[in-house]
Amino acid sequence: MRTGILVGKRFANAVKRNRVKRLIREAFRLSSQEIQLKRSSGTDIVVIPRKKLLKAKSGDLVPEMKSLLKKAVK
């Protein structure tokens, strides 16, 4: 399973865009370990964050990512 993160320039400045990408990558890593996703499933997941994510903390993102990945796997 691969993940892609799309964060456009209008989202925020480069520092904030990179922070959001790091948060999403880490949430995906933690969530995929718990759900035990098959790495060779051939599935691609694209994440397009909203501006609300700028105020989020990493702890807020992990449970949300878990629920979204569970839906995607089904």
Tens digits of residue pLDDT in 53-71: 888 887 888 898 888 888 8
Q: In this predicted structure, what is the pLDDT of residue 5?
A: 92
Nearest to 4 by CA among 18, 25, 26: 25
15-42: pLDDT as tens digits: 999 999 999 999 888 888 777 665 556 7
Specify the pLDDT at position 43: 77
How many degrees, rounded to 5, is the angle at CA 41 between CA 39 and CA 43?
100
The class of domain 2-73 in CATH terms is alpha beta
pLDDT band at 73 (very low <50, low <70, confident <90, very high): confident
Query: CB-based contacts of 21: which residues, under 8 Å, 6+ apart?
Result: 5, 7
Bigger pLDDT: 36 vs 8: 8
pLDDT at 37: 60
Question: Contact, 37 vs 70, CB < 8 A?
Answer: no
Tell me the backbone φ, ψ of residue 9, rounded to 5 degrees: -65, -30
CB 51 within 8 A of CB 19: no
